[in-house]
Chains A and B, each alone.
Chain A
Amino acid sequence: MLPELLQGTDAGGFLIIQDSVNYSGRHLLWSFINAALNREEAVHVLGFEVSEEELKDGLKGSHIQRLHFHDAYTDPLGWTDQPAFTVHQFCLEKLTHLIKQTSQHKPATLVIDSLSWILRHRCPPDVCKTLQQLKKGGAVRVIIGLLHADMHQRGIVGSVCHLASSVITVAPGMKGDEAVAKTTKRSKSGKVMQEEAIFCIKEDLTVVVQSKPSHLGSRQTDPEEQETDPTANLTFNLRLSDTERKAKEKLALPFVFSKEKKSALLHSGPGSGRILYEPDANDDYDQEDPDDDLDV
């Protein structure tokens, strides 16, 4: 599922890359930026955690001219006179204005690096509201946000992820540059798909999905367990040969009757009846006064 998300085959939505201190999701985020740039889409980056130079250095060799960096790294809280972008400007009007300024033609990709910064300084319901408005509004095609899940309370992470159409949770893998991505994708019809994949990111920011380890480890152990047959070394016979089986079936068990006798015993004859009752609108169910003899 990870390659499809990278290719951006979906009509849009809101994607969250959830990471923790054990493994940074920023390289995967850059891969998403790179993939979007290669598709010749305009990409707007709200950079809180990484400077413009570092990002552009990381994206060497891509079509950087379509990348629009909104610098919130130098002054995220607006302490100087000329802040480029601050946390407090994270609202629908400002962002649509910013995006409309530069890319008029096509809905753009908005990358937020990272949502954690915004969530630290703004109240979560407002952030959720803005994200939902952006998702519904026409200016942005895809929102991709990085979220450091271990920085926030579980409820905040849950609330933000509840809005997302796809969530990729990254964790370190077994070997050096490998990582495990757990992808959850919600389709519009309400269907939920989940997948786990081991991936590594190459120098040119392409993502190579190595395998789909979906419970491979646990499945390998299963056949071994089944191989040990407890009936293998028994001192007595558990099996029947064909002749033995025939002999067994020929034997009539006590109290086994013929079909006719059984049906005569079990089926009640035509003389008996049964009560079928359907409640009716005029039925009166009165628990307090069944006999109607009290002055209620």
Chain B
Amino acid sequence: MGRDGAASRAIAATIAALVAIAGVPAAWADGGGKGKPGAGAASPDDAEARRKVAVLEYRAGSTALPGLDRRIAGLLKQQTSLTVIDADEARKDYGARLDAAVVDCGGEPACIAKIGAKVGAREVVLVGVSEFGDVILTLQRIDVRRGKVAVRIAEALAEDASPDDAALVGYLRRVMPENDFLRFGTIKVTANLAGAQVFLGKDPKGKTPIAPLRVHAPATYQIRLTKDGYVPFTARVQVPPDGDIEVDARLTREGGGAWYTRWWVAAIAGVVIAGGVGAGYLLTREPPTAVPGTGTID
């Protein structure tokens, strides 16, 4: 193979290294993780947005609105950035006595808060269903640490009423803080150089190595890395809700060197990268958070 063949392999390798998009482990996604370098960059709001909320149901002799807690948990998972613990998940942590324990609490917030603490939740959304002629639906958001109700609403529904998802979301928006309905994604920027300035749009975010950037989602962001003496790196990424995008930037020296390190090649590469990221996003919208497991006892 001649020189051109070698050059094409070289540029392919370079561009290949310019960006890689991959699912990022969930443990990393909530603002850097414990004890990891750069973990301090996540804002307090991030932890708040990711707080765990358990959805439990308490019925006072009513069979109306069956499965309401599951629907509400599903809507919270779908519409918010909260980590939602539904009754099935709570049962795994608390044990089979969960339902009996909720009944034993009789709706008492401090008692419900103890159950919330046991399942690792910061708040409990207690869905109450009772009947006094009408069906009475109550939603209470209980602060686990304080053992007190933060917000409580009650709705009287017709006996045969069945609120649709929009109605339930309407109730939840009255109970949950507005910020909960903002969703987030994460951009992890890595580079082959330390000290490269990272811009999110026009905002400088720090220098590499840099903690993961937690951003509102869905949204499109421009990532730019600059360092004196190096060709700037630019990428445009679409971040899905709860999605994690990884941008691995490889900055090359300006001038001299191989022809493919010159600025115009990098600019073209940048376009490719942006397209590549888009494609990556479309095809890897939800990086897997779980993988199948099998075992053998032997």
- Say whether A associates with B: no
Interface residues of B (CB under 8 A from A): none
Interface residues of A (CB under 8 A from B): none
